[in-house]
């Protein structure tokens, strides 16, 4: 119960601890010289792979895998902009005419999960964590395609010579995050619960789970991957490394210690017991 109480009632303490750790405390750097605006979208093959791609649209991105037997698509990233998923499919069609076999959601948040209709219509089986389906069933957003199949702990998808492992690593940024691992390529697609060189998003809001988050990062680090595709582009579009995630874990551990101190000092809304 203590963890639960800490998780749900110590938002003020977390916010205070975050403020202490936030880059906002350091003086603002001089403005960078004007850069040409990035194109609205881009499709990039992951270096060293034959068939793993990142589709970016504005500030969101998703992984897709092309095999001779079909395509595995993740996150439609089209909340409030149906054009993103249409472009996503057009970009895939420039690479392959193979059928779209799967659409897999990283978690239930609309900015990643909305817009799957074009993939569903192209024949995809939609897969998400069980909790994502439960949440989406209540929310009933017409722009989000309901999952056809759900995953509890793990599932392995084999398609056209590629293996993709889906794993639930516990509650973190949401309670419905699936990480997606390509074991042969050692590439991981993991969204929103770690950020490259930044504080992870939604850390201090109600539907995140700061205490369990650390365990989730540890479970993810226990998987065999070298490079991570994040759900939002990293600095200069780079992929994540294990070191990035280890740093994130160290940050979370420090944050938990601060929150516990605040809690013990009675600074939470309701003292933990
Ligand atoms: Zn999210």
Measured in Å, residue 205 CA sits from the centre of ligand 1 at 11
pLDDT band at 153, cuts 50/70/90? very high
Give yes or no for residue 24 having a pLDDT over 60: no
Helix 11-21 to helix 242-264 angle, to the nearest 10 degrees?
130
Tell me: the pLDDT tens digits for 90-136?
Answer: 999 999 999 999 999 999 999 999 999 999 999 999 999 999 999 99
| Rounded mean pLDDT, 38-60 | 96
Measured in Å, residue 263 CA sits from the centre of ligand 1 at 27
Measured in Å, residue 109 CA sits from the centre of ligand 1 at 5
Residue 254 is predicted with a pLDDT of 84
Measured in Å, residue 20 CA sits from the centre of ligand 1 at 24
Lowest mean pLDDT among 24-28, 76-80, 125-129, 146-150: 24-28
Measured in Å, residue 201 CA sits from the centre of ligand 1 at 8
pTM of this prediction?
0.83
CA distance 149 to 129: 8
pLDDT band at 4, cuts 50/70/90? very low
Q: What DSSP designation does 205 have?
A: S
Measured in Å, residue 230 CA sits from the centre of ligand 1 at 11
Residue 262 is predicted with a pLDDT of 78
> Hunting for tokens 């779209």 — which residue is that?
100
Q: Taking the CB of residue 219, how many other CB atoms lie within 10 A of it?
A: 15
Residue 9 CA, chain-centre distance (Å), reads 25
Residue 269 is predicted with a pLDDT of 55
Tokens representing 11 are: 């938002």
Residue 207 is predicted with a pLDDT of 60
CA distance 80 to 6: 34
Residue ranges of the alpha helices (H) in the chain?
A: 2-9, 11-21, 83-95, 110-113, 117-121, 130-139, 210-221, 242-264
For residue 52, which phi and psi values (nearest 5 degrees)?
-110, 130
| Rounded mean pLDDT, 46-51 | 96
Measured in Å, residue 265 CA sits from the centre of ligand 1 at 31
Tell me: the pLDDT tens digits for 162-171?
Answer: 999 999 999 9
Neighbouring residues of the ion ligand 1, judged by CB less than 5 Å = 109, 192
| Rounded mean pLDDT, 250-263 | 80
Residue 251 is predicted with a pLDDT of 85
Measured in Å, residue 68 CA sits from the centre of ligand 1 at 31
CB 172 within 8 A of CB 209: yes
Measured in Å, residue 38 CA sits from the centre of ligand 1 at 23
Residue 116 is predicted with a pLDDT of 98
Give yes or no for residue 8 having a pLDDT over 80: no
| Rounded mean pLDDT, 142-160 | 98
Residue ranges of the alpha helices (H) in 140-185?
A: none
Measured in Å, residue 107 CA sits from the centre of ligand 1 at 7
Measured in Å, residue 26 CA sits from the centre of ligand 1 at 27
Tokens representing 253 are: 């551990």
Measured in Å, residue 100 CA sits from the centre of ligand 1 at 24
CA distance 142 to 32: 41
Measured in Å, residue 30 CA sits from the centre of ligand 1 at 31
Question: Residue 198: which residues within 8 A CB-CB, separation 6 or more?
Answer: 23
Q: Please state, for a pLDDT cut of 90, what percent of the chain lies above it.
A: 66
Residue 67 is predicted with a pLDDT of 98
Measured in Å, residue 113 CA sits from the centre of ligand 1 at 9
CB 173 within 8 A of CB 131: no
Measured in Å, residue 133 CA sits from the centre of ligand 1 at 15
Residue 211 is predicted with a pLDDT of 75
Measured in Å, residue 210 CA sits from the centre of ligand 1 at 14
Tell me: the pLDDT tens digits for 198-235?
Answer: 666 555 554 677 778 889 999 999 999 999 999 999 98
Tokens representing 231 are: 């759900």
């Amino acid at each position: 119960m203590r963890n639960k109480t800490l998780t749900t009632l110590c938002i003020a303490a977390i916010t205070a601890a975050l403020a202490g750790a936030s880059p906002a405390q350091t003086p603002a750097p001089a403005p960078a010289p004007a850069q040409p605006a990035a194109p609205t979208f881009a499709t990039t093959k992951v270096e060293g792979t034959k068939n793993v791609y990142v589709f970016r649209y504005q500030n969101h991105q998703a992984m897709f895998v092309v095999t001779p037997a079909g395509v595995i698509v993740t996150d439609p990233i089209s909340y409030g902009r149906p054009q993103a998923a249409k472009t996503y499919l057009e970009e895939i069609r420039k690479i392959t005419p193979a059928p779209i076999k799967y659409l897999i959601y990283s978690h239930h948040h609309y900015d990643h999960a909305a817009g799957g209709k074009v993939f569903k219509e192209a024949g995809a089986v939609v897969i998400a964590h069980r909790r994502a389906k439960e949440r989406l069933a209540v929310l009933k957003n017409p722009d989000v395609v309901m999952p056809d199949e759900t995953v509890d702990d793990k599932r392995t998808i084999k398609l056209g010579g590629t293996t993709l492992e889906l794993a639930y690593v516990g509650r973190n940024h949401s309670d419905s995050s699936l990480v997606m691992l390509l074991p042969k390529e050692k590439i991981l697609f993991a969204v929103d619960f770690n950020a490259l060189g930044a504080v992870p998003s939604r850390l201090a809001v109600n539907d995140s789970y700061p205490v369990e988050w650390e365990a989730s990062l540890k479970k993810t680090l226990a998987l065999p991957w070298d490079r991570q595709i994040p759900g939002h582009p990293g600095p200069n579009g780079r992929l994540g490394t294990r070191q990035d995630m280890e740093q994130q874990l160290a940050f979370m551990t420090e944050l938990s210690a601060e929150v516990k101190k605040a809690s013990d000092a009675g600074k939470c809304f309701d003292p933990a017991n």
